[in-house]
Amino acid sequence: MTEYYGATVVDIFDTMPKRFKPEEAKDVDILIGYEATGEGGGMWTAHIKHGTLTVSKVNELKGCKTTIHAHAETFLGVTLGKITAIDALTSQKLRVVGDIRFLMTLLPKVFVPFTVIPKKKVLKARDILVTMESLFRPERAEGVTMNVGYDLTGPDCCQWSLQIKDGKCKVREGFAEELTVKLTMNASVYTGMMTGTIDGASAFTSGQVKIEGDMMAAVATARYFHKYTDPDAKEAEELICLRVTNSIEQRFASGPVMGKWFAGLREKKFLGNKCPECSRTQIPPREICAICRIRVNEFVELGPKGTVTNYDIVYFASPDPLTGAVRDTPYAPIYIVLDGSSEREAFAFELKKEDISRINVGARVRPVWTENPVGSFKDVLYFELDQ
């Protein structure tokens, strides 16, 4: 199986049941299809139904409500957060057929993110020995002449020697002719000692390492070299991320002008105000006419019906900063010039969901009120087509 970012597509689906959060998926019933193309790809479906999950490897994506398509590499990149989903969607390297809201809301909610624990490459003694020349510290080995032989046993057995002479160090395979000291040990013990997972002193003590020749020279060797560091260790480095929802409660003042507007809503009336200089109406009313820079005191009742001048049909689910909850899509804010308003002064409100497909510029609309308005933006449920 081809790996990307240290994992395979199969890993994603194999771990899905473990990462599933049934309590978050109680009211969900959906069949999601996944197609990963290219090397290491394949097709899978995930069926989430009332808190259960069934993952299947399939040959075609049949009956899926939503399907996700991408090259295996993009697939893993996005799943692991190495590629930003929105960038992949924008460039169409990732395609979603059906309701895109999934990517935004459902999946992060019902699955614990897929992560890879970077696999440590199995480090061989040879990998370390070939770097020893570059780790040599001549300033510490002044006047030292010695040959150290390593007789490494086990599956990765090999023989090496380090020659230190005239402030230089040479590493070569096989034994030098005159060894000052010879160390015999399993190759894995050597790599363990060099990377710090095995304590050298206890390895000597426990007999894992056998020494023939000048014992003091063997002990001194470490002094002449910089500490070895595994180059792969850096890539596996954890970068800390702190996730928090910062929330501060607020007391928003209405002031007298917006207060009057809300008082109007309680009587199912839209109370705008009118500039004493240019006569433009403002809705909702504001303290001042920004154009004339003059205080506005006169209130006028506008609408309730009006004409649509523009509209937005929103498919993108974003959080509502007033509540922190994700909005339900699609929804449609429409711009309405209410009857009695100045021609420039549009008012924005949400259209009834059922009317979204029939909206057009010039359409006549009317507000639908809650039964008992309390003076809030929730008093108007929505505007609907006035037919």
Q: Dihedrals φ, ψ of 350, to 5°? A: -80, 140
Specify the stretch interacting with other proteins by CB under 8 A; choose among 4-12, 55-63, 219-227, 374-382.
374-382
Q: Does 316 bind other proteins (CB under 8 A)?
A: yes
Residue 106 touching other proteins (CB under 8 A): no
Cα 154 to Cα 156: distance, rounded to the nearest angstrom: 5
Is position 204 an interface residue for other proteins (rule: CB under 8 A)?
no
Binds other proteins (CB under 8 A): choice among 1, 315, 328, 370: 315
Contacting other proteins (CB under 8 A), which of 243, 357, 371, 387?
Answer: 243
Residue 284 vs residues 75, 258, 268, 348, 350: alpha-carbon distances, Å: 47, 7, 14, 10, 15
CB of 17 to other proteins, least distance (A): 26
Does the footprint of other proteins cover residue 253 (CB under 8 A)? yes
Answer yes or no whether residue 84 interacts with other proteins by CB under 8 A: yes
Rank residues 305 and 327 by Cβ distance to other proteins and give the closer one. 327
Give the nearest distance from C-beta 229 to other proteins in angstroms. Answer: 13
Decide if residue 255 touches other proteins (CB under 8 A): yes
Per DSSP bridges, beta strands 364-369 and 347-350 are unpaired
Q: How far is the CB of 101 from other proteins (least distance, A)?
A: 10
Using the rule CB under 8 A, is 250 a contact of other proteins? yes
Q: Is 305 in the site for other proteins (CB under 8 A)?
A: no
Q: 380-385 and 364-369: which strand pairing?
A: antiparallel
According to DSSP, residue 103 is labeled: I
Residue with tokens 């510290």: 137
Q: Does 219 bind other proteins (CB under 8 A)?
A: no
Binding test (CB under 8 A) with other proteins, winner from 23, 142, 177, 343: 343
Using the rule CB under 8 A, give the single segment among 28-36, 53-61, 87-95, 225-233 that binds other proteins: 87-95
Q: Is 90 a binder of other proteins (CB under 8 A)?
A: yes
Binders of other proteins among residues 260 to 289 (CB under 8 A) are 260-263, 282, 284, 286-289
| Contact present, 116 and 5 (Cβ < 8 Å) | yes
Of 159 and 309, which CB lies nearer to other proteins in the complex structure?
Answer: 309
254 binds other proteins (CB under 8 A): yes
Instruction: Name residues contacting other proteins, limited to 1-40 (CB under 8 A).
Output: none
Nearer to other proteins, 187 or 337 (CB): 337
By CB under 8 A, residue 112 contacts other proteins: no
Task: Burial-class residue 95 by CB neighbours within 10 Å (0-12, 13-18, 19+).
Answer: middle
Axis crossing angle, helix 9-19 with helix 72-79, rounded to the nearest 10: 40
Phi and psi for 181 in degrees, rounded to 5?
-150, 145
CA of 375: how far to CAs of 20, 153, 259, 273, 386, in Å? 43, 84, 9, 17, 24
Q: How many amino acids of this chain bind other proteins (CB under 8 A)?
A: 82
Residue 59 interacts with other proteins (CB under 8 A)?
no
Q: Which stretch binds other proteins (CB under 8 A): 10-18, 109-117, 225-233, 340-348?
A: 340-348
Q: What backbone torsions phi and psi does residue 283 show, to the nearest 5 degrees?
A: -145, 125
Which is it for strands 281-282 and 364-369: parallel, antiparallel or unpaired?
unpaired
Output 167 or 375, the one with its CB closest to other proteins.
Answer: 375
Residue 77 and residue 235: Cα distance in Å, rounded?
Answer: 16
Map the footprint of other proteins across residues 129-188, applying CB under 8 A. Answer: none
Rounded to whole angstroms, how far apart are CA atoms 16 and 22?
A: 12
Q: Is residue 122 a contact point for other proteins (CB under 8 A)? A: no
131: left (phi over 0), alpha (psi -120 to 50) or beta: alpha
Q: Mention every residue, 6+ apart, whose C-beta is less than 8 A from residue 85.
A: 78, 94, 103
For other proteins, the closer CB: 215 or 236:
236
Quick one: which of 17, 196, 256, 276 contacts other proteins (CB under 8 A)? Answer: 256
Pattern 344-373, binding to other proteins, x per CB under 8 A? Answer: xxxxxxx----------x------------
Structure tokens at 32: 């999601």
